[in-house]
Structures are given as C-alpha cells and as structure tokens.
C-alpha cells in the first residue's frame, strides 16, 4: 500500500509536552467497529469494559538511554536502541560521520564506550568499558530518551524520570515508554479489578526505532526494526483460557499487541515466546490474539497508524483522527488515549 494513504494534518499545538495530571484524567476516544464515536476519559474505563475482559500490559522499564559525549573535539550523541549482550548496545548516533570503528567516546561521569562496529543503517555497536553494569552507568550519565517531537520543543528534566514510566515498569530495557499504560493509576486498577476485569503482563523492550520515519513510498518496501520480547508459558495459558471462554483480550498499547500477535499460531493459540520480533502490521492483516486495543494517537504515515488502520479500517481511523483533531485531543506519547473495539 502507498504510505501517503496514512497521512493526515496535525496542528502542532495538539502535541502534548506533559502528561495529564492525574494520569487517568486523560481523555479517551472510544472507537467501535461501526456507529458513533464516544468522547470519554480514561477513568471511565471500568464502565466501558465487561466482567471477564483481560487487559494485557507491557512491564518494560525505560532506562536513561540518551547519552552526550565526545570523541576528541567532536561532540557525539548516542541513543541506545537494542541490547546485544551484557556490555554491548546498538545505538543511533548523532554526528556519526565523526565516529569511526575503534574510537573511544567519553560520556562523562566516568562512562566510556568503544564504537566497535557500524551497521548498515548507520547505527553503531557501543561496547561499554569497565566492570559496572551498563544500567548503573546509564543512571549516572544518561538522560530519559524523550521522543523527538517532545525533545525538540523543550528540555528533558527530572520530572520526566517518573512521567515517562508506567506504573507497571519492572524490567529494565526499553528506550521508549509503552505509552498507552501511562494513563493507569493504582485507583483505576483497583476499580477495574472490582469490575471483574483481569490483567496480565508481558515484556517488550521498546526500541528507539519506533520513532524512525517510514522513508519508503510503499509499505512493502519498509524494513521494520526488531525488538526483544517475552511471554511466559503461564501467561500464555491464562490468555488462551480466556479466549476459549469467549472473554475479550484487549492489548494496552501497540507494544503488547505486536508481541501477542508475534506469539500466536495459525489456530489462534498464544504460545510462550522469547526473542526478537519485527512484526509489521498493515491493512489486510488477520488478527488472531486480540479483540481490542487501548492506544494513544500516533504520527502521520507511521507504522503504528498503519497498525490501528489494520485493526479498524483505514477510513474508520482517518475519521476517528479527524474527530480527535476537531475536538482538540492531545496527541502522541504524553497525549490522550483511544479505545478501539472492532
């Protein structure tokens, strides 16, 4: 499909620079498969779900993966993208023309790394020196990796260390937040439990590649980035039992959805999964693992807008986004939410 079919115009003043306070006060556009859209707020979620529904969250934790350093007199910026082993990370590099294989980059606070290899996409393998865990080094020298559309408009600050983290964050490794879950609070979770809504967690370490633009003119020509994820066998068994008893499985975020759809078989059975996924979902895809999706509003011509268009239909999502823009919903990572129920 042509990528420009997924384009739309977004006023810049609708890009959220801070999350709603409290988190569950964010607005939420309910998009059914047909019929009218409904303007609600996230705290209404228990009233919109049925007893027995299952919400699936991503428990990844964002690490301070953005580094500023020097190679001699050259300033080098690095955004870690994907862990390769205990001491090596693949990283997108700013000013990469000044960096060669074998160079040492000094990131301050006693943190140094060797640029071991350049990849075809221009990124580098960075091998961190020393004996301390890389996560410890990042806490000392790194910053939270806010999306470019926020970072270009304001400085990252200490508040982002908590704002850009979900209440489910437990497993270090993401360099972008699973933002649909940013709207949840302990109070909302308790009310969902009272309603009889079950919750499950999986892990997908979101990479910085999620923000890369689609440069191809046709979706068939786009190469999707890979991310590491895990679903344990017990979680898979509970999700299968829910679906076998006709209970809905609703992914909270495109990251949860992509991992579930990576782990499901042709017969609709969700299997235990551990490894990389580079699944790219576009219209025509047959969903097997989920019955709905809660997600924020995505960028024009992005792989994530293609995903929601695959779930609901491209024209339906174009209409939903036009409604959201007209009603001045807040967009992107710190913005409002939508509940998609095909």
Does residue 232 share a domain with residue 103?
no
Which residue in 272, 141, 321 sits closest to 313, CA to CA?
Answer: 321
Question: For residue 258, what are the domain limits?
Answer: 3-62+162-340
Does residue 193 share a domain with residue 120?
no
What pLDDT is stored for residue 211 in this prediction?
73
Structural domain count of the chain: 2
Domain CATH number, residue 17: 3.40.1780.10
Give the span between the Cα atoms of 69 and 128, in whole angstroms: 13
Domain-located, residue 148: no
Among 82, 113, 143, where does a domain finish? Answer: 143
Domain-located, residue 239: yes
Helix, strand, coil percentages in the chain from 3-state DSSP, rounded to 5: 30, 30, 40
Q: How far is CA 196 from CA 71, 181, 260, in A?
A: 56, 19, 22
Among 143, 178, 204, where does a domain finish? Answer: 143
Q: Which residues contact 163 (CB under 8 A, 6 or more apart)?
A: 18, 19, 182, 334
Question: 254-263 and 303-312 are packed helices; what angle lies between their axes, rounded to 10 degrees?
Answer: 70
Does residue 321 share a domain with residue 281?
yes
Does residue 211 share a domain with residue 178?
yes
- Whether the Cβ atoms of residue 259 and residue 202 lie closer than 8 Å to each other: yes
Q: Which residues contact 291 (CB under 8 A, 6 or more apart)?
A: 248, 249, 250, 341, 342
Domain-located, residue 30: yes
CB-based burial, 12-34: b 16+ in 10 Å, e otherwise: eebbbeebbeebbebbbbbbeee
What pLDDT is stored for residue 170 in this prediction?
97
Give the span between the Cα atoms of 89 and 128, in whole angstroms: 8
Say how many C-beta atoms besides its own lie within 10 A of residue 37's C-beta: 16
Domain CATH number, residue 132: 2.40.10.240
What pLDDT is stored for residue 144 in this prediction?
94
Q: Which alpha helices (DSSP H) does 175-220 contain, by range?
A: 186-195
- Whether the Cβ atoms of residue 330 and residue 14 lie closer than 8 Å to each other: yes
Give the span between the Cα atoms of 268 and 254, in whole angstroms: 19
* Burial group, residue 195, by CB count within 10 angstroms (0-12, 13-18, 19+): middle
Would you state the structure tokens that stand for residue 181, as one six-digit string?
Answer: 């879950």
Give the span between the Cα atoms of 313 and 317, in whole angstroms: 6
Would you state the structure tokens that stand for residue 33, as one six-digit string?
Answer: 């498969």
Domain-located, residue 152: no
Would you state the structure tokens that stand for residue 48, as one six-digit string?
Answer: 């919109």
Among 112, 143, 174, where does a domain finish? Answer: 143
Domain-located, residue 89: yes
Does residue 125 share a domain with residue 256?
no
Domain-located, residue 155: no
Sheet holding 38-41, edge to edge: 38-41, 27-32, 337-341, 292-296, 249-252, 54-58, 198-205, 227-231, 273-277
Tens-of-pLDDT digits for all 342 residues of the chain? 999 999 999 999 999 999 999 999 999 999 999 999 999 999 999 999 999 999 999 999 999 999 999 999 999 999 998 899 999 999 999 999 999 999 999 999 999 999 999 998 889 999 999 999 999 999 999 999 999 899 999 999 999 999 999 999 999 999 999 999 999 999 999 999 999 999 999 999 998 777 778 989 999 999 898 899 999 999 999 999 999 999 999 999 999 999 999 999 999 999 999 999 999 999 999 999 999 999 999 999 999 999 999 999 999 999 999 999 999 999 999 999 999 999
What pLDDT is stored for residue 141 in this prediction?
96
Domain-located, residue 150: no
Give the span between the Cα atoms of 122 and 167, in whole angstroms: 34
Does residue 105 share a domain with residue 45?
no
What pLDDT is stored for residue 213 in this prediction?
80
Would you state the structure tokens that stand for residue 157, as one six-digit string?
Answer: 């600050």
Domain-located, residue 13: yes
Does residue 242 share a domain with residue 208?
yes
Does residue 213 share a domain with residue 94?
no
- Whether the Cβ atoms of residue 114 and residue 160 lie closer than 8 Å to each other: no
């Amino acid at each position: 499909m042509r990528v420009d079919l997924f384009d739309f115009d977004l006023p810049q003043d609708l890009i959220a620079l801070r999350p709603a306070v409290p988190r569950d006060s964010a607005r939420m556009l309910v998009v059914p498969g047909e019929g009218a859209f409904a303007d609600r707020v996230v705290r209404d979620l228990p009233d919109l779900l049925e007893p027995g529904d299952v919400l699936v969250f991503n428990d990844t934790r964002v690490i301070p993966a953005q580094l500023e350093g020097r190679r001699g007199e050259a300033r080098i910026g690095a955004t870690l993208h994907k862990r390769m082993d205990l001491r090596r990370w693949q990283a997108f590099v700013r000013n990469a023309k000044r960096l060669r294989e074998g160079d040492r980059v000094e990131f301050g606070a006693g943190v140094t790394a060797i640029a071991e290899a350049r990849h075809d996409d221009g990124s580098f393998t960075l091998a961190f020196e020393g004996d301390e865990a890389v996560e410890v080094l990042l806490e000392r020298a790194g910053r939270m990796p806010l999306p470019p559309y926020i970072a270009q408009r304001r400085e990252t600050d200490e508040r982002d260390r908590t704002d850009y983290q979900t209440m489910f964050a437990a497993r270090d490794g993401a360099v972008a937040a699973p933002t649909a879950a940013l709207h949840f609070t302990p109070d909302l979770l308790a009310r969902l439990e009272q309603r009889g809504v079950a919750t499950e967690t999986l892990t997908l370490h979101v990479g910085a590649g999620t923000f890369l633009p689609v440069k191809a003119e046709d979706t068939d020509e786009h190469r999707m980035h890979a991310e590491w994820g895990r679903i344990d066998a017990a979680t898979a068994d509970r999700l299968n039992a829910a679906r076998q008893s006709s209970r809905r499985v609703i992914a909270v975020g495109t990251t949860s959805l992509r991992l579930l759809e990576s782990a499901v078989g042709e017969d609709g059975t969700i299997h235990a999964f551990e490894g990389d996924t580079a699944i790219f979902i576009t219209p025509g895809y047959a969903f097997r693992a989920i019955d709905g999706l809660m997600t924020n509003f995505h960028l024009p011509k992005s792989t994530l807008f293609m995903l929601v268009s695959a779930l609901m239909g491209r024209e339906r999502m174009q209409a939903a986004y036009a409604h959201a823009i007209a009603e001045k919903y807040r967009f992107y990572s710190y913005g409002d939410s939508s509940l998609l129920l095909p």
